[in-house]
Amino acid sequence: MSVAKPLPHDAARLHVTGQARYVDDIPTAAGALHLAFGCSKVAHGTLQSLDLAAVRAAPGVVDVLTAADLPFANDVSPSAHDEPLLATDSVHYVGQPLFCVIATSHLAARRAAGLGTAKIEPLPPIFDVETALAQNSRFEDGPRIYERGQANTALETAPIRLSGQMEIGGQEHFYLESQAALAVPGEDGDVLVHSSTQHPTEIQHKVAEALGVPMHAVRVETRRMGGGFGGKESQGNALAVACAIAAMRTGRPCKMRYDRDDDMVITGKRHDFRITYDVGFDATGVITALDVRHDTRCGWAQDLSLPVADRAMLHADNAYFIPNMRVESHRLKTNMQSATAFRGFGGPQGMLGMERIVDHVAGHLGLDPMAVRERNFYATGAAAPPQSTHYGQEVDDFILPGLIAQLKDSADYDARRAQVDAWNAEHDVLKKGIALTPVKFGISFTLTHLNQAGALVHVYQDGSIHLNHGGTEMGQGLFQKVAQVAADRFGVPMAAVKITATDTAKVPNTSATAASSGSDLNGMAVRIACDKIRNRMAAHLAELHQCNVAQIRFEDGYVITPAQSYTFAEAANLTYVGRVGLSATGFYKTPDIRWDRIKGEGRPFFYFAYGAAISEVVIDTLTGENRILRTDILHDAGASLNPALDKGQVEGGFVQGAGWLTMEELVWDDAGRLRTHAPSTYKIPAASDAPDIFNVALWDGENRADTIYKSKAVGEPPFMLGMSAFFALSHAVSACGPDYPDLQAPATPEEVLASIARAKGV
């Protein structure tokens, strides 16, 4: 069995020796050219003219492209065709690409790009939620509303009623490898594009449109990314399209990688949200009614904002059954980077809003928030019929109560909460806080047709196996997990399986590797392809030996018939000589899902993934500085395909989530310029910021849904475990005064200080 083993990452040996190739490491033929964008310095306006004489005259410059030079589609949007590669007559944010320099080196291109000037007649920009609402600047014609029960009447009759608001900041992906693409022109108008992308098919599609050729003329290959996190789902389109156009124009390989500054200024980030709520509950903390409103700034183009905002609505309940619940979501168009996919895809913002409501209710009643959580959980156990979410999906796999009991026990939660309170009573300057937060995250793309995947498997006559599928590798370990599936189906050692780069010429029409779906979808497609070949091999050997197919086993590198056992290589060769095909495709689509996103009704998710975390923090009440002292996590990965890689996802997800809520802050100035556009001003967690004590375990249990080897998706859900750090801070601040601290995210030292003042009522 190769599944369920904690094998290292498939390319670990190459990574530790610096031999693993990223796009920027691919050797190019002499004469390769490099690209850089010249960008708008104005947030909103009419583009009147570009003066590019100095750019063209700069050393190393071969050509400069503007919108007028683009031969076909000028569009890199993944959704609404509202995102030109190069601006035409209007500009919509500071950082929008206006022209593209093609030069002999990366530095020459960047230097020259700085020499262009644009005449832009400014128009009033829209930055904040109020202005966007006042001017009805939004995507879709109005808000989306999902409702179950009668939230507003139930609020009227609720024993206690509370309202509040929370601002949730965005987040820069900060994948360590910035966006990159390389296009190599081929014969007869063909082009090969290497792209650091989570979505090779979309790159292929956009490049084909831009070149005015069918998709078959464009091949996209992605071996790996140096991190993605959703930031490479659509944001790589511009680079790949620009490189392809430049390569066709010049006949030379063309490469583009964003400088870190450019990457931060040009590309989209996590959506920020304002959550406004009106909640009704009783004196024990049971919530009976909730009306919650989401206002999210989507930036200038639609990109993936609609499904992101939908997913936020779908997670506005987190783990709680609220009989009367209404969610209203406004997707606002603003003159900023176009916010995009980021691990959790809106889910974290929706969930954080709900956890904040629970925290506020508990604060109001003077209860441990954990008690309020437990009183509102979805029903569980055979006795209780499954309850439905506010969008009508039955929660029939709710394992959180058992999972949380185990976590509380292993982390000694109750005793430690009492100790924290006692410690706080004796300390004035430093205050501690502890919180347990749960996660329930829906798995599947909410756009139902994306829940499909393909694979291509070849067995060669020497018994070696070539494995390909539509998923991309960004560090999450997908390639290894899927290879473990293939090795298991054939009963061969891992070394027999060759993992190959994602390639649109091998598996077509793939979905983005996103929504945590990589292993679920591609693992199944690979299993189906492998089983086709295995069955053919077995049928051939059964015929040779006049035995029953069911008697043939594939184990430990052997194919065993009742009469004789062959090495896998011998069996492959025999099958080949018997003129039986040893190549197969596999195709899988997720069963049992349906979703009407306008009505907000259906069963959008195949299943839910669960987890819970306990974090303990300490704050300095004089400076607002804080750190995480200890975190304990129990996370549900089903029957894990590879527990080591899955634990890695949990640890990394938690730290990234805690970073989002405690230290990562995006700041734009009044002119719409992103001021935090470099790692000097935008801080992500360093090794010294991770928890001092960090215990992570996987929940021991199978997925009840019929997934690949009963495993569960694990890419996104652990990100939301970072909420425990935020609510531990809220607890610590609560110890400073009688009032609810009303902590906003991110809880930077400044924000912690401000919330201490609120808690003290000053």
Active site residues: 716
17 part of the interface to other proteins, by CB under 8 A? yes
- Using CB under 8 A as the binding rule, the residues of this chain from 71 to 110 that contact other proteins are 105, 107
Q: How far is the CB of 654 from other proteins (least distance, A)?
A: 6
Q: Provide DSSP, 156-193.
A: HH-SEEEEEEEEE--B----SSPPEEEEEE-GGG-EEE
Q: How far is the CB of 255 from ligand FES (least distance, A)?
A: 18
226 part of the interface to other proteins, by CB under 8 A? yes
What are the beta bridge partners of residue 324?
289
Which tokens sit at 445? 């793309």
Q: How far is the CB of 225 from other proteins (least distance, A)?
A: 6
The full length of the chain comes to 762
What are the beta bridge partners of residue 608?
442
Residues 616 and 423 sit within 8 Å (Cβ to Cβ): no
d(CA 746, CA 685): 13
For 16-69, strand residue ranges (E) read 33-39, 45-51, 61-65
746 part of the interface to ligand FES, by CB under 6 A? no
498 part of the interface to other proteins, by CB under 8 A? no
> Looking at this protein, which amino acid is placed at residue 534?
R
Number of residues that bind other proteins (CB under 8 A): 63
At residue 296, φ and ψ (nearest 5 deg) are -125, 140
25 part of the interface to other proteins, by CB under 8 A? yes
d(CA 29, CA 22): 16
> Looking at this protein, which amino acid is placed at residue 489?
R
17 binds, among other proteins, ligand FES, none (CB under 5 to 8 A by kind): other proteins
- Put the strands of the sheet holding 553-555 in their side by side order: 553-555, 558-560, 565-567
Q: Which of 260, 553, 589, 760 binds other proteins (CB under 8 A)?
A: 260
578 part of the interface to other proteins, by CB under 8 A? no
Indicate the residue among 16 and 693 with the shorter CB distance to ligand FES: 16
518 part of the interface to ligand FES, by CB under 6 A? no
- Using CB under 6 A as the binding rule, the residues of this chain from 212 to 251 that contact ligand FES are 227
Task: Give the SS3 label for residue 638.
Answer: strand
d(CA 350, CA 122): 35
Stretch that binds other proteins, among 47-55, 242-250, 367-375, 692-700 (CB under 8 A): 692-700
Number of residues that bind ligand FES (CB under 6 A): 3
Indicate the residue among 22 and 460 with the shorter CB distance to ligand FES: 22
d(CA 510, CA 200): 8
Burial 693-715 (b: 16+ CB within 10 A, else e): eeebebbebebebebbbebbbbb
Which tokens sit at 365? 């009643």
715 part of the interface to ligand FES, by CB under 6 A? no
Q: Print the binding letters for residues 637-676 with other proteins: x by CB under 8 A, - otherwise.
A: -------xx-xxx-xxxxxx--------------------
Does a cis peptide bond (omega within 30 degrees of 0) precede residue 746? yes
Q: Which of 475, 491, 604, 648 binds ligand FES (CB under 6 A)?
A: 475
710 binds, among other proteins, ligand FES, none (CB under 5 to 8 A by kind): none
Indicate the residue among 15 and 704 with the shorter CB distance to ligand FES: 15
Indicate the residue among 171 and 324 with the shorter CB distance to ligand FES: 171
Q: How far is the CB of 475 from ligand FES (least distance, A)?
A: 5
Task: Give the SS3 label for residue 288.
Answer: strand
112 part of the interface to other proteins, by CB under 8 A? no
Indicate the residue among 232 and 333 with the shorter CB distance to ligand FES: 232
> How many CB atoms are located within 10 Å of the residue 191 CB?
24
59 part of the interface to other proteins, by CB under 8 A? yes
Q: How far is the CB of 656 from ligand FES (least distance, A)?
A: 11
Task: Give the SS3 label for residue 519.
Answer: helix
Pairing of strands 693-698, 626-635: parallel
Q: How far is the CB of 20 from other proteins (least distance, A)?
A: 5
Indicate the residue among 175 and 699 with the shorter CB distance to other proteins: 175
686 part of the interface to other proteins, by CB under 8 A? yes
Q: How far is the CB of 676 from other proteins (least distance, A)?
A: 13
Q: How far is the CB of 176 from ligand FES (least distance, A)?
A: 4
Residues 6+ apart with CB under 8 A from 231: 173, 175, 179, 267, 268, 269, 340, 341, 342
Q: Print the binding letters for residues 463-482 with other proteins: x by CB under 8 A, - otherwise.
A: -----------xxxx-----
176 part of the interface to ligand FES, by CB under 6 A? yes
8 binds, among other proteins, ligand FES, none (CB under 5 to 8 A by kind): other proteins
Which tokens sit at 504? 């649109």
Stretch that binds other proteins, among 76-84, 255-263, 289-297, 322-330 (CB under 8 A): 255-263
For 401-534, strand residue ranges (E) read 430-443, 452-459, 465-469, 497-499, 502-503
Instruction: Using alpha carbons, select from 271, 300, 246, 265 the residue that is nearest to residue 100.
Output: 246
- Using CB under 6 A as the binding rule, the residues of this chain from 286 to 325 that contact ligand FES are none
Residues 329 and 353 sit within 8 Å (Cβ to Cβ): no
Binding site for ligand FES (CB under 6 A): 176, 227, 475
Binding site for other proteins (CB under 8 A): 6, 8-9, 11-22, 24-25, 27, 59, 105, 107, 173-178, 224-229, 257, 259-260, 474-477, 644-645, 647-649, 651-656, 678-680, 684-688, 690, 692, 694, 696
